[in-house]
Amino acid sequence: MSVHVAPLKTYIYVFLALMFFTVLTVGVAFVNFAHHAPKGIGNVLNDAVAMSIALTKAVLVVAFFMHVKGSTKITPVVIWGTLIFMVILFVFTGADYLTRPMTTFVPVMSQ
């Protein structure tokens, strides 16, 4: 049954790639992308870069360490399915926050 055993060096390469991205994400965290981008999207650019790197790393782990590539058809369905519902949670809640004016407001609490 030992069908899906990947060669040792695959693991090592993936690990090295993960290390590379880790160092990269720390490095770019200190670069202010807003200086290089049109106003408006500049603020979120750093976040977007950091999250893209994290996503890439996650994909590497899932694909190689967790053997999604060698597993049955249903595994990607489970993963994508879950992600879709995460997106629903974020998008719908976010929609509320984005479309209501959120001036902060620290209430006087009696107690």
Partner 1 sequence: MTSQHESAPALPEKHYLSGAWSPQDWLLTKDHKRIGILYLVGISIFFALGGLMAVLIRMELATPSGDLMPADVYNRVFTMHGVLMVFFFLIPSIPAVLGNFLLPIMIGAKDLAFPKINLLSWYIYMIGGAMTFYGLLVGGIDTGWTFYTPLSSGYATGPVLTVAVGVFIAGFSSILTGLNFIVTIHRMRAPGLTWFRLPLFVWGHYATSIIQILGTPVVAITILLVGAERLFHIGVFDPKIGGDPILFQHLFWFYSHPAVYIMILPSMGVVSEIIAAFSRKKVFGYKFVAFASIGIAVLGFLVWGHHMFTSGQSLYAGAVFSFITMLVAVPSAIKVFNWTATLYKGAIAWDTPLLYALGFIGLFTIGGLTGVMLGTLGFDLHVHDTYFVVAHFHYVMVGGAILGFLGGLHYWWPKITGKLYNEFWSKISAGIIFIGFNLTFFPQFILGYLGMPRRYHSYPEEFQVLNILSSAGASILGIGFVIPVIYLLASLANKRYAGNNPWGAVGLEWQIPSPPPTENFETPPVVTDEPYTYPQPDEKEAPVGV
Partner 2 sequence: MSENSTLAHHFDSYAQQKESASLGMWVFISQEIMFFGGLFLAYTIYRWRFPEAFAYSSNELDIGLGLFNTIVLIGSSLTMALAVRNAALGEKNGTVRNLILTMLLGSVFLVVKGFEYAHKWQHHLIPGPNFQFSGPDPVHAQLFFVLYFSMTGLHALHMIVGLGILAWLTAQAAKGRFTPENHNYVEGVGLYWHFVDIIWIFLFPLLYLFGRHHLT
Partner 3 sequence: MTPNTPIFPQGASTYSTEVDILFYVYLGLAAFFTVAIFGLVTVFAVKYRRKKATDVGVEPQGHATVIEVTWTVLPLILMLGAAIWGLKIYVQQLTPPPNAKEYYVVGKQWMWKIEHPDGRREINELHVPKGEDIKLKMTSEDVIHSFFIPAFRIKVDAVPGRYNTMWFNAAKTGTYHLFCAEYCGVDHARMIGRVVVMEPHEYQEWLSGTKVRAATATGEELFVAKACNTCHRPDSSARAPILNGIFGKEVALLGGKTIVADDEYIRESILNPGAKVVSGYQPIMPTFKGQLSEEEIIQLIKYVRSLSPGADKGVPKTASLAFSSSAEAHP
Q: Considering the rule CB under 8 A, would residue 95 count as an interface residue with partner 1?
A: yes
Q: Give yes or no for residue 66 binding partner 2 (CB under 8 A).
A: yes
Is 35 a residue that touches partner 3 (CB under 8 A)? no
The conformation of residue 64, written as its DSSP 8-state character, comes to: I
User: 21: Cβ–Cβ under 8 A, 6 or more apart, which residues?
Assistant: 53, 56, 57, 60
Span 7-26, contacts to partner 3 by CB under 8 A: none
d(CA 8, CA 58): 20
Count the residues in the chain. Answer: 111
Look at the alpha carbons of 78, 84, 85, 87 in this order and tell me if their dihedral is positive or negative: positive
DSSP code, position 63:
I
**Does 83 interact with partner 1 (rule: CB under 8 A)?**
no
Binding site for partner 2 (CB under 8 A): 1-2, 4-6, 8, 11-12, 14-15, 18-19, 22-23, 25-26, 29-34, 43, 46-47, 50-51, 53-54, 57-58, 61-62, 64-66, 71-72, 74-75, 78-79, 81-83, 85-86, 89-90, 93-94, 97, 102, 104, 106
